[in-house]
Structure 1
Amino acid sequence: MNETDQKVRLVSGPLQAERLPDGSRRLLRALIVKVRDEEIVVPAGFVSDFRSLPRVIQILIDPARVQLAGVIHDRLYATGQFTRCETDTIWRLTAQSGGGHANSFQAWLGWLLIRLGARFAWDRARKKSRLA
């Protein structure tokens, strides 16, 4: 077990979701992940695109290897439970953990691209949560 695996632990079991007509997916059961000492709960019914990266980067990072990270990242962007920096770091740690995970290069590259390009998504989510 590597250091990252010790920081991220899937508590609820694997992702279970149904594909929606627009290509996004809805969780069929809650997803619970423990990252360091924080428990993150993504409720059943949450809709995600299962990725946080642009499609063009799929050449370098297999989207199947970062699905769990994408769902958690989408949820944390929606809730604002952590800061943007913390949320993006959680994406990287989750992408590197578990079976079939991204390698270190892929996880760090994905993290860098998220840090550079996701400000608009974060701001939009914060504005949406203030209006709700």
Structure 2
Amino acid sequence: MSYITTYPNILLKKCADGKADWWEVTVRVKVRCELSPMGRIFIPDGFVSDFASTPRAFWWLVPPHGRTANACIVHDYLYEKKPLKASRKEVDLFWRELLKQCNVPAWQVWIMYKYVRLLGGFNWKKLK
């Protein structure tokens, strides 16, 4: 198990179930998270993510892989599993900070954050 403070180092493998662009966490990861009363969350091995859910037509602007990938896995986990008593906005703000820590350019962070605030509510409600 690794313990991350800034850039999440998450070991992954390509999903073998035929889903294009989906990846599986292979080693449980402890993530520092100020939203948690214990200051951390655990992403279990076997959790699956597509990184940033960017429509393919916009990959040139906001690629789903690269610097954004590990912060997006954390965000996907918080959205899907809801392990904390945190609001959607709190989760999105935490993700925005992770993106910054991952050295994602400020303009990309801004676009991604605005996109998820505008459209993320559909997944937040769907995954309850």
- Tell me, yes or no, whether TM beats 0.5: yes
Equivalent-residue separation in structure 2 for 1:103 and 1:32 (angstroms) = 25
Cα separation, 1, equivalents of 2:81 and 2:50: 16
SS in 2 for 1:59: coil
> How far did residue 10 of structure 1 move?
4.5
**TM-score (norm. length: structure 1):** 0.77
User: Matched residues in 2 for 1:66 and 1:120: separation?
Assistant: 21
Which aligned segments of 4 or more residues in structure 1 are displaced greater than 6 angstroms? none
The aligned residue for residue 99 of structure 2 is: 95
Counterpart residue number, 1:26? 24
- Return the alpha-carbon distance in structure 2 between the equivalents of residues 123 and 93 of structure 1: 23
User: Percent of aligned pairs with the same residue?
Assistant: 27
Q: How many residues end up aligned between the 2 structures?
A: 116
- The residue number in structure 1 matching 2:122 is 120
1:107 to 90, 109, 117: 109
Q: Counterpart amino acid of 2:46?
A: G
- Alignment-derived partner of residue 90 in structure 2: 86
For the aligned residue pairs, the C-alpha RMSD in angstroms reads 2.1
1:69-124 Cα deviation digits (max 9, x unpaired) = 110111001122221101111221111113xx311111121000000011111110
Paired residue type of 2:92: D
Q: Which stretches in structure 1 are left out of the alignment for 5+ residues?
A: 1-7, 127-132
Q: Give 3-state SS (helix, strand or coil) of 2:19's partner.
A: coil
Q: Does residue 44 of structure 1 match 2:45? A: yes
